[in-house]
Amino acid sequence: MLRLITVTLLYICCLGHCKHEHNTGKDCRNICNHLRIVGGCPAKIKDHPYQVSIEHVYRGHFCGGSILSKHWIVTAAHCVKEMKANQLRVRAGTSHKHEEGTVRKVHKIVVHRKFHNFDFDVALLKVEKPFHFDKSVQQIAMASTVPDVGTCVTVSGWGYLELGGHSPLNLHHVEILIIDHRQCASSYHDLTPQMICAGWPRGGRDSCYMDSGGPLVFQKKLVGIVSWGYGCALAGYPGVYTNVAVLKKWIREHMK
Ligand code: 4AZ
């Protein structure tokens, strides 16, 4: 009974929120009861087959990434800027951090040459051997436009479950809303056109440390790359994502 009341309340809350944000709410559910990524829940790699973990050869997982083709991974520039290719590897096809899946060495790192202060926060990794695609390993197409304000989008990763928390063993995901750029710029004065904001206006749902570089997705297309934010899941401070639509041309041209 208690469970039914909780689920109903959660549903009403979410619908109300989405309506307020000009969203019908039908895509924006809280997908589980135990709140995790921050405010999300455990995910299966088959539902996010483009998601990879970027590992340091000795220290393990530190950032996420997305598969764009059999040879190329897109991530955040701030994840890999200080790294050498031989310090990195990419793990695909598993929901479990550091376990199973397919691991590839990195042949080359390409960082956007305008990357500065989290602006143009995009980088490409070329893997030494191509990935074999199956149900758990797939490429994702890039979005050509930013979804409308209030659209529910999904972010996933092995990042902290709360600010000051820890990185979980299992992949997590959460649905959040695209936030108006101007409104977001009132919280973050250094917002640029290469950035988009997504979050949960009253807080409680977000990406967090070690989700960086990972995918923000709408209708099976990559719309953002986890980049930065003030803390995690704080009301009025949404997550900031690299705007894939405006950097798509650069990404395409450098996948060579
Ligand atoms: C990070 O440093 C990070 N709450 C990722 C996401 C956010 C903040 C920081 C957004 O990996």
At residue 25, does pLDDT exceed 80?
no
Instruction: Give 97: exposed, middle or buried? Use CB within 10 Å, 0-12, 13-18, 19+.
Output: middle
Read off the pLDDT band of 26 (50, 70, 90): very low
Phi, psi of 234 (to 5 degrees): -85, 140
- Cα(4) to centroid(ligand 1), Å: 33
Distance CA 135, CA 47 (A): 9
Written as six digits, the tokens of 248 are 């798509």
Specify the pLDDT at position 166.
Answer: 86
Structure tokens at 244: 């894939």
Give residue 29's pLDDT. 56
Please report the pLDDT score of residue 186 as a whole number.
97
The answer to whether 36 and 204 have CB atoms below 8 angstroms apart is no
Residue 193's pLDDT is 98
Model pLDDT for residues 56-99, shown as the tens digit of each residue: 999 999 999 999 999 999 999 999 999 999 999 999 999 999 99
What is the pLDDT at residue 205? 96
Query: What pLDDT does residue 28 have?
Result: 54
142 versus 16: the higher-pLDDT residue is: 142
- pLDDT tens digits, 183-207: 999 999 999 999 999 999 999 999 9
Is the per-residue pLDDT at 20 higher than 80? Answer: no
Mean pLDDT of 123-150: 98
Catalytic, out of 53, 167, 212, 227:
212
Average confidence score pLDDT of the chain: 89
Ligand 1, residues 232, 234, 240, 241: which to mutate, most atoms within 8 A of Cβ?
Answer: 232
pTM assigned to the model: 0.88
- The answer to whether residue 10 scores a pLDDT higher than 90 is no
Give the ligand 1 atom nearest the CA of 210.
11
Distances, alpha carbon 28 to alpha carbons 33, 42, 57, 142, 178, in Å: 14, 16, 37, 21, 11
For position 199, what pLDDT does the model report?
Answer: 98
| 159 Cα nearest atom in ligand 1 | 11
Residue ranges lining ligand 1, Cβ < 6 Å: 206-212, 226, 228-229, 232, 239
Which residue reads 């997908």 in tokens?
31
Question: Is 212 considered catalytic here?
Answer: yes
Q: Which of 225, 228, 230, 242 to mutate to test the pocket of ligand 1 (most atoms within 8 A of CB)?
A: 228
Q: How many whole angstroms separate alpha carbon 117 and alpha carbon 67? A: 25
Ligand 1 centroid, distance to 24 Cα (angstroms): 28
